[in-house]
């Protein structure tokens, strides 16, 4: 009996230590990952706690233990890589007009906090390098790793790959973009995890031959068990967006039942709560 008593004491001590050294969100993420294969990407780094595509929200989604943070990469007038979803500054910043018309120093004078001015008075548009530094530092300190889901909005493959390699995030991160971009990315880095869109099952073979994809970004409205099976038969993963009106528990359930590999969501905590029954 003494033997089992000490095992119980040791187990309690280990759990208590984890709870002291990790946030509730991280413990929740570990619990989820131990029970479910469906991976999660935070769309535009959305945490619901800070403005989209900023270092503040990236930090919070890292703390949530997501598998991927989705970011939108664009290029400034002086060829610096920055993070912004829209081609123009109007919606999320106090600037106006195309971001491509500004130098990095001009971009850094703007605030990326529209709608969050009180909570984040000084949040700026991050560079890709600042984002990768944050994620790389996190991964060095934590057992649960997070990688980058790169939406290649307006960027050339070579400078993108160079920065991803510099921070050792190139091998496990995924790259989404149009077919022409992904074909050029394949030339620059044949090992990159390329992810073209798939809106029509009839396009599958052509895209496989042209792009050798790691995954397909499948339109949720076209998703069905046969399509998931056919893609998996090609040893390719199935990623999909459940965004806007689709971002709800019945679709989380359906994605798991279909064997989808990853869902992209604006509500990471809602996914955890649904599957963990909280």
The DSSP element (H or E) to which 107 belongs, if any, is helix 104-107
pLDDT digits (tens, 9 = 90+) for 240-275: 999 999 999 999 999 999 999 999 999 999 999 999
pLDDT digits (tens, 9 = 90+) for 184-216: 999 999 999 999 999 999 999 999 999 999 999
**113 has pLDDT over 80:** yes
3-state secondary structure of 161: helix
Q: Which of 45, 33, 238 is nearest to 145 (CA)?
A: 33
**98 has pLDDT over 90:** yes
Q: Please report the domains of the chain, with CATH numbers, ordered by start residue.
A: 25-86+128-276 (3.20.20.190)
% the chain with pLDDT above 90: 87
Q: Which residue has the higher pLDDT, 25 or 263?
A: 263
pTM confidence score? 0.90
Residue 209's CB: how many other CB atoms inside 10 A?
8
pLDDT of residue 25: 76
The DSSP element (H or E) to which 194 belongs, if any, is strand 193-195
**10 has pLDDT over 90:** no
pLDDT of residue 24: 66
Q: How far is CA 225 from the centre of its chain?
A: 24
Per DSSP, helices labelled H in the chain are 2-21, 24-35, 55-63, 104-107, 128-141, 157-166, 179-188, 204-211, 225-233, 249-258, 268-276
């Amino acid at each position: 009996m003494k033997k089992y008593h000490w095992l119980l004491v040791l187990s309690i001590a280990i759990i208590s230590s984890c709870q002291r050294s990790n946030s509730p969100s991280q413990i929740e993420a570990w619990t989820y990952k131990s029970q479910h294969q469906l991976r999660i990407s935070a769309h535009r780094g959305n945490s619901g706690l800070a403005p989209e595509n900023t270092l503040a929200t990236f930090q919070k989604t890292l703390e949530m233990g997501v598998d991927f943070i989705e970011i939108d990469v664009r290029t400034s007038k002086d060829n610096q890589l920055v993070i912004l979803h829209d081609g123009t500054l109007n919606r999320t910043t106090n600037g106006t007009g195309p971001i491509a018309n500004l130098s990095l120093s001009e971009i850094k004078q703007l605030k990326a906090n529209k709608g969050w001015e009180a909570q984040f008075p000084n949040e700026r548009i991050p560079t890709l390098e600042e984002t990768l530094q944050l994620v790389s530092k996190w991964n060095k300190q934590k057992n649960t790793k997070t990688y980058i889901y790169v939406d290649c909005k307006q960027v050339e493959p070579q400078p993108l790959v160079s920065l991803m390699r510099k921070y050792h995030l190139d091998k496990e991160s995924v790259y989404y973009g149009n077919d022409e971009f992904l074909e050029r990315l394949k030339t620059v880095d044949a090992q990159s995890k390329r992810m073209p869109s798939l809106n029509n099952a009839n396009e599958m073979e052509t895209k496989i031959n042209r792009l050798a994809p790691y995954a397909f970004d499948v339109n949720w409205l076209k998703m069905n068990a046969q399509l998931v099976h056919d893609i998996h038969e090609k040893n390719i993963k199935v990623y999909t967006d459940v965004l806007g009106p689709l971002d709800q528990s019945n679709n989380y359930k359906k994605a798991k039942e279909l064997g989808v590999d990853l869902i992209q969501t604006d509500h990471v905590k809602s996914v955890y709560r649904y599957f963990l029954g909280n």
